[in-house]
Amino acid sequence: MNSEELDKIVEEEKRSRQSLEHEICVCVAAGCLSAHSEDVKAVLEKEVKQHGLGHQCKVKGVGCLGLCASGPLIAVEGGEKRTLYCNVTAQDAPEIVGALGKEPVKRLQLPESIPFFSRQRKLVLENCGRIDPERIEEYIGVGGYSALQKSLNEMRPTEVIEQITRSGLRGRGGAGYPTGLKWSTVSKAVGSRKFVVCNADEGDPGAFMDRTILASDPQKVIEGMIIAAYAVGASEGFIYVRAEYPLAIKRLKTAIHQAERLGLLGKNILGTTFSLSIELRLGAGAFVCGEETALIASIEGKRGTPRPRPPYPAESGLWKSPTLINNVETFAHVPKIILEGGDWYARLGTAKSKGTKMFALAGRVKNTGLIEVPMGINLREIIYEIGGIPEGHRFKAVQTGGPSGGCIPEQHLNTPVDYESLTKLGSIMGSGGMVVMDETSCIVDVAKFFIEFCMSESCGKCIPCRVGVTQMHDLLCKITDGAATMDDLALLEELCDVVRNTSLCGLGQTAPNPILSTLQYFRDEYIAHIEKKACPAGICKISGSEKESA
C-alpha cells in the first residue's frame, strides 16, 4: 500500500456513500448489545429488504453513540440530516424504515440539542457512532490514516514529538505524565530493539472508556500507536487488553488483521522503510497489571508484580529494552494532534491540562453513558447538566478515579476538571470513571467497597500494601458493624498515612485515597457509625439500628 492507493480507498468510500440515500447506524457497543441491539439490527435489515430499499439504504453496526442509559440507540443519516432514536425495540423497526425520507418517528426521537450532547466536545470519539468498527475502509473514508501519511511522508520523528510536546497532551491513564516528554525520553534511549505498548488493562470498576474506544474505533488507536512507534523508533508493538472484554478483543483482532492486509502494519509501511508489527496480549484479571512495570512482567508471561522504579520502562522495559507505554485514550488523541497541529490542540482546555477527556458517567444519574468534554469544564456541569440527577433524589458525592480516587462533595462541584484541581480535592483524574452517589449510598460502605477491591487486587509483593490494606479493611468492617471506637478511627488514619508513603507502586500508594477523602468531607458519617451506632443512609446493618438495607 502506498499513499495513492490510500487515496483511492477514500474516493471509493465517498462514492459508495453518495450512492446511498439513507444509512441506518445501529449501536453495537457493549451497552446497547446487552440491550439486544443485534436483534434490532437484524429486523431493520429484513425490513429494508422487504421495502425494496436495498440499494438506497444501508443498515450497519457502529460504535458507541454515548447515551447508554437509553439503549439501544440508532442514528438514521440521510443527506445532511441525522436523526437519533432511543430505546428502540425490534417491534419499532417497521415504523423507522417506513419513516425514511419523511417525518421522523416522534415518540422514539432523541433530540441532539439536549445538554448531554451539546455540552460535549468530541475529538477521540468523533467517529464513534458514525463508522463501522469492523471495516478499515470506513475509517480511511473519514480521514483515517491521513495523519500517519503526513507523519511518514512530511515529518521527521523529532518533528512528530515536537508537535505532541506542543499540544500539551498528558497521559490519560490517570497520572498525567506529559506525553511528549515520555516520547522524547524513549526516542533518546539507546537500544537495538524498542517497543511501544498500549495499556488497555482498564481495571477500574465503573470505567469503560478504553473498552468503548477499542470496540468503537479500534483503528484510531492503532494509527496512534504506529505514529508513536515511528516517532520513538520502535519496530514492535503490543496491545495489552483485559480478557474480560471479549468484544474489544474481537474487534481489535479484526482491526489489526485488516491493517496488516492493507500494508499499514508490517514491513515498509506506506512504501517507506519504516516497519512495525503489533501483537495482542491478553490480561487475565489482575488490576495491578495496569501499573506499567507489572504490565511488562505480564506481557513477558510472568506474574504481574510491579518492581521499583527507576529504571523507568522508557529506558529499561520489555526484555530490558526501551519501551513506550501509553494508555488507549492517549494514543487515540495522537492522529488529531498530528493533523491539526499541536498548537491547535493546546487551545483547548486549561493552562496545565490540555484537550478533552473522556468520562464514563454512571451511578445515580439519569443519563449514564460515555462522554467527552473539554478539560476545565466544572463538575457541576457534568453531573447536573450532562448527567442529570433523578427527581426526588439529592446529590451526595461523586467518585472519580476509581479505587485510587476519592469522593467529592457538593460544595466542591464548581471545581474545574483538570489534573491538579482534582488532586487538590484529595481525588485524582484517574482514567475517567465517574460514579455519582445520592443519599441512598453510605459513604463508609463505599470506602469499604474500594478498600476491599484493593485488598483483593494487591499483588502481595510489598508488606505495607498486602498487610496494611487488609488491616484498613478490618477496621472499616468494625466501623460498619458498629463495633468501632474513636481509637480505631485514629488508628485507621495513621495506617492510611503509612500505606500511602511506603508502598511500592501506585496501587498501594493510592489505596488510602477513598478513606482519606471521605474522612475529609464526610467525617460525621464515620462518627455516626462509631458513636451513635447508626448508618445515616441505612445501608450498613448495625445491630440495634432499625433501618435495614434495601
Partner 1 sequence: MRRHGYQPNALIETLHSVQECFGYLEKTSLRYVALTLRVPLSRVYGVATFYHFFALKPTGKHVCVVCMGTACYIRGAQGLLAEIGQSAHVKPGETSVDGQVSLITARCLGSCGLAPNAVFDGEVAGRLTRSDVHQRVKGWLGQ
Contacts of 532 (CB under 8 A, 6+ apart): none
Pick from 61, 388, 433, 464 the residue near partner 1 by CB under 8 A.
433
Q: Which of 208, 230, 419, 526 binds partner 1 (CB under 8 A)?
A: 208
Minimum distance between the CB of residue 68 and partner 1, rounded to whole angstroms? 3
For residue 206, the minimal CB distance to partner 1 (Å) is 3
Per CB under 8 A, 300 contacts partner 1: yes
Encode 464-485: b = buried (16+ Cβ within 10 Å), e = exposed. bbeebbbbbbebbebbbebebe
Question: Quick check: 244 binds partner 1 (CB under 8 A)?
Answer: yes
Q: Considering only residues 49, 156, 253, 303, which one is a binding residue for partner 1 as defined by CB under 8 A?
A: 303
Three-class SS string for 38-94? HHHHHHHHHHHHHCCCCCCEEEEEECCCCCHHHCCCEEEEECCEEEEECCCCHHHHH
Q: What is the smallest separation between the CB atom of 398 and partner 1, expressed in angstroms?
A: 11
Check binding of 204 to partner 1 (CB under 8 A).
Answer: yes
Q: How far is the CB of 38 from partner 1 (least distance, A)?
A: 11
Residue 333: CB atoms within 10 A of its CB come to 26
Which range binds partner 1 by CB under 8 A, 47-55, 121-129, 330-338, 360-368?
360-368
Choosing from 328, 422, 455, 459, the residue that interacts with partner 1 (CB under 8 A) is 459
Question: What is the Cα–Cα distance from 252 to 245, expressed in whole angstroms?
Answer: 11
In single-letter form, the type of residue at position 250 comes to K
Identify which range of 102-110, 218-226, 292-300, 420-428 contacts partner 1 by CB under 8 A: 292-300
Instruction: Quickly tell me which residue has 444509512 as its cell.
Output: 23
Q: Is 327 helix (H, G, I), strand (E, B) or coil?
A: strand
User: Which residue stretch of 216-224, 267-275, 420-428, 430-438 sits at the interface with partner 1 (rule: CB under 8 A)?
Assistant: 430-438
Closest separation in Å from C-beta 81 to partner 1 = 26
> Candidates 94-102, 144-152, 243-251, 309-317 — which segment interacts with partner 1 by CB under 8 A?
243-251
Q: Does 302 bind partner 1 (CB under 8 A)?
A: yes
Asked whether position 531 contacts partner 1 by CB under 8 A, the answer is no
Determine contact, residues 43/93, Cβ cutoff 8 Å: yes
218 binds partner 1 (CB under 8 A): no
Stretch that binds partner 1, among 44-52, 161-169, 204-212, 517-525 (CB under 8 A): 204-212
Nearer to partner 1, 78 or 205 (CB): 205
Shorter beta-carbon distance to partner 1: residue 130 or 281: 281
Query: Do 508 and 291 contact (CB within 8 A), yes or no?
Result: no
Q: Using the minimum distance from each CB to partner 1, give the nearer residue, 63 or 157.
A: 63
The DSSP secondary structure of 165-196, one letter per residue, reads: HHHT-B-TTTT--BHHHHHHHHHHS--S--EE
Size of the site for partner 1 (CB under 8 A): 54
Residue 281, interface with partner 1 (CB under 8 A)?
A: yes
Residue 89, CA atoms < 13 Å, CB-side half-sphere: 2
Whole-angstrom Cα distance, residue 168 to residue 196?
Answer: 20
Measure the CA dihedral 93/99/103/108, to 10°. Answer: 0
Strand partners, 326: 198
User: Minimum CB separation from partner 1 for residue 153, in Å?
Assistant: 34
Which residues does 546 contact at the CB level (< 8 Å), separation at least 6?
none
With CB under 8 A as the contact rule, the residue among 115, 143, 178, 205 that binds partner 1 is 205
Q: DSSP secondary-structure letter at 354?
A: B
The answer to whether residue 519 forms part of the interface with partner 1 (CB under 8 A) is: no
Among 71, 290, 335, 430, binds partner 1 (CB under 8 A): 71
Q: What are phi and psi of 50, to 5 degrees?
A: -60, -35
Place of cell 442529570: 388
Residues near partner 1 (CB under 8 A):
30-31, 33-35, 67-69, 71, 203-208, 211-212, 243-245, 281-287, 298-304, 360, 362-364, 368-370, 399, 402, 433, 435, 437, 441, 446, 449-450, 453, 459, 549-550
